[in-house]
Chain A
Amino acid sequence: AQSVTQPDIHITVSEGASLELRCNYSYGATPYLFWYVQSPGQGLQLLLKYFSGDTLVQGIKGFEAEFKRSQSSFNLRKPSVHWSDAAEYFCAVGALRGKLIFGQGTELSVKP
């Protein structure tokens, strides 16, 4: 069955510290992988996506993610977190004909 797991429900980091959000997926074929961010009361904004090629992908707002097929992972990273990064982050896999399967989300809090 296709699924996405985000093991961390809530993470708190200090402003300026590095960040890594974990994502593991289960999908039979070569996956399309996505990271979205959602601020309170807002829709989803695409941070970055992986379709093929270079396994390290760059996104908006200084985020990057690395696809590791052997670990079925697509972890999101940022070298220095800003207070404005506090939000909910969702990892998703693109299934057949554009259907997205989302993880449960990781809520990020940023300490001043």
Chain B
Amino acid sequence: DAGVTQSPTHLIKTRGQQVTLRCSPKSGHDTVSWYQQALGQGPQFIFQYYEEEERQRGNFPDRFSGHQYPNYSSELNVNALLLGDSALYLCASSLQGRLETQYFGPGTRLLVL
């Protein structure tokens, strides 16, 4: 049983560009949450998707958007990249009825130059 997978593992972009990160949840899970972890910090909640809709959102600008597909996989899109967007982006999956138990993927390391 594959756990949570994320792609790519590493990414380098320049300021102003756009980026798309991908996440496949653990088998059977229907809810995906995204977190941003800046260097030396704890992860911060970006948003959560369930039934292809954004269900709740953290304190992130509209440059951060997402999508969930019918197979529950999800994408995180960031537009107009800033240097401060450099971080490890973590995806977590769970079951809607068991949101307290989340499984994290290995993350995507994004570097913005």
Contact = CB atoms under 8 A, between A and B. Distances in A.
Interface stretch (B11-19, B40-48, B70-78): B40-48
Contacts of B109: 41
A98 interface: yes
Contacts, number: 60
Contacts of A49: 100-101
Given A43-B90, A44-B104, A49-B100, A100 B56 contact: no
Interface in B4-33: 4, 31, 33
A36 B43 CA distance: 11
A98 B31 contact: yes
B42 A90 contact: yes
A24 B41 CA distance: 16
Contact of B107 (A43, A90, A104): A43
Interface in A60-94: 90, 92, 94
Contacts of B33: 98-100
Contacts of B43: 44, 90, 100, 102
A100 B102 contact: yes
A98 B102 contact: yes
A61 to B, nearest CB: 17
A101 interface: yes
Contacts of A101: 45
B100 A44 contact: no
A94 B100 contact: yes
Given A51-B100, A90-B43, A98 B94 contact: yes
A41 B107 CA distance: 8
Given A98-B33, A98-B48, A98-B102, 13 more contacts: A42-B106, A44-B90, A45-B104, A90-B42, A94-B100, A96-B56, A97-B99, A98-B31, A99-B48, A100-B33, A100-B92, A101-B45, A105-B40
Interface of A: 4, 32, 36, 41-46, 49, 51, 90, 92, 94, 96-105
